[in-house]
Chain A
Amino acid sequence: MAKLAGVYAASHGPLIIRKWDSVSAAHKEALTGAFDELGRRIRAARLDALVIISPDHWVNFFIDNLPMICVGVGETHAGPNEPWMMKEFPHETMPGHPQLARHILDTALASGFEPSVSHRMILDHGFCIPLLKAGVNPLPIVPVVFNDIEPPFPTVSRCYAWGEMLARAIATMPGDLRVGVLGSGGLSHSIGEATMGLIEEEFDRECINHFEQGDPAALCEFLTQRLPQVGNGGSEIRNWVAAHGAAGGRGFELINYSAVPEVIVGCGFAAWNLHA
């Protein structure tokens, strides 16, 4: 059967690319070091496929048809379509892993989830910035979109359960694939609302503490209460929660946390302790 070989989380703020020149030397060093370490760990895990959970920043879906969860099952995905991202990451297409994706889909359906399905998903900066900055060569990707950007959102506990389901799907996937899971997004940021630019470091530190401790019930309760009170970008922590579920609620090891005002994101990077 396939093996869950690594579970990771990384921020993906667009200004990490668009405004890199304006990032301070100290923050450049912190972010570069964090992405390098993430890349080192992903390469060391010798992954055959990577499941990336990220929001869709309005490139695939619109409010006329907005999935809560969508799985990309295509043989091929489309690369990013944001002009500034295409310049840095010029992949017109990126490989999928339809066999793994369909097994995840079947497992989801058998587990009480009814995700949407995409046979040709555009992978926007949420999927691509971690790959680009971590220097990970495009490997077969199973993209999973969580709706983190337009309310109403999936509940935090459902996101955790989705992650648990992902782990079951990987553990029952025939063959000997080595599969990774990456939750992309977060931590606190605020986009297009009155608190835009605000980084809520205290909240981020509490989040990190919960993820380090493990205890899924406490994490879900904390986030269920707090996410509606912080900047809208914090909603992407749902993707970290799914990663936490995939890792069986084992705590994670923080690679780096840096509140970076130049990119208006509390940037976090982590890898879960799968053998703890």
Chain B
Amino acid sequence: MATRDYALNKLFFDLQDPAKAAEYRAGRAAVLDRYVLSPEVRAAVEADDVGYLAGLVNPYLLRFYFLVAGMPDDEFMKRIRATGGPHG
């Protein structure tokens, strides 16, 4: 089974709510404070580290998150392709 960071997946899952997504875009810190993320994971979120996060979350949630976070599609595609990781 794939490795899943529960809190990170929960953050991405919750951001499907448009109101929460708007709050997140207005200021990430207040939202991130509500999730028990390890310092490494939080830093990766703050740095938009697609490759690091890809190993910890469902790929559909990952893709969705970066749409919400405002990363252009082309940029996300470039970064996820650069991970060279396995399928799924």
- Using a CB–CB cutoff of 8 Å, the interface residues on chain A facing chain B are 57-59, 62-64, 81, 83, 149-152, 190-197, 228-232, 235
A192 & B54 in contact (Cβ 8 Å cutoff): yes
Closest 8 CB pairs between A and B? A192-B59, A192-B63, A192-B62, A193-B59, A232-B88, A194-B85, A194-B83, A196-B80
B47 within 8 A of A: no
B20 within 8 A of A: no
Count chain B residues whose beta carbon lies closer than 8 angstroms to a beta carbon of A. 27
The main secondary structure of chain A at its interface with chain B is loop
- Min distance, Cβ B33 to any Cβ of chain A, angstroms: 21
| Interface membership of chain B positions 1-45, coded 1 if the CB is closer than 8 angstroms to chain A and 0 otherwise | 110101001100100101000000000000000000000000000
Q: Across the interface, which residues of B come within 8 angstroms of A150, CB to CB? A: 2, 58
Q: Across the interface, which residues of A come within 8 angstroms of B85, CB to CB? A: 193-194
5 additional contacts (CB under 8 A) given A58-B58, A190-B87, A191-B59:
A58-B64, A63-B4, A192-B64, A193-B59, A230-B87
A58 & B87 in contact (Cβ 8 Å cutoff): no
Partner of B84, one of A81, A194, A197: A194
B61 within 8 A of A: yes
Contacts A149-B60, A228-B87, A232-B87 given; indicate if A196 touches B9 (C-beta within 8 A).
Answer: no
B1 & A58 in contact (Cβ 8 Å cutoff): no
Partner of B81, one of A151, A197, A235: A197
Contacts A62-B13, A192-B54 given; indicate if A151 touches B88 (C-beta within 8 A).
Answer: yes
B61 & A83 in contact (Cβ 8 Å cutoff): no
B60 & A192 in contact (Cβ 8 Å cutoff): yes
| Interface membership of chain B positions 48-71, coded 1 if the CB is closer than 8 angstroms to chain A and 0 otherwise | 000000100011111110000000
Most buried by B among A81, A83, A191, A229: A191
Q: In the complex, which residue of chain B has the Cβ closest to the Cβ of A193?
A: B59
- A194–B50 CA distance with the chains assembled, in angstroms: 11
- A190–B83 CA distance with the chains assembled, in angstroms: 14
A195 & B87 in contact (Cβ 8 Å cutoff): yes
B60 & A229 in contact (Cβ 8 Å cutoff): no
- Min distance, Cβ A192 to any Cβ of chain B, angstroms: 3
B1 & A83 in contact (Cβ 8 Å cutoff): no
Contacts A57-B60, A58-B16, A62-B9 given; indicate if A194 touches B1 (C-beta within 8 A).
Answer: no
Q: Across the interface, which residues of A come within 8 angstroms of B6, CB to CB? A: 63-64
Q: Across the interface, which residues of A come within 8 angstroms of B87, CB to CB? A: 190, 193-195, 228-232
B10 & A62 in contact (Cβ 8 Å cutoff): yes
- A258–B56 CA distance with the chains assembled, in angstroms: 33
Q: In the complex, which residue of chain A has the Cβ closest to the Cβ of B13?
A: A62
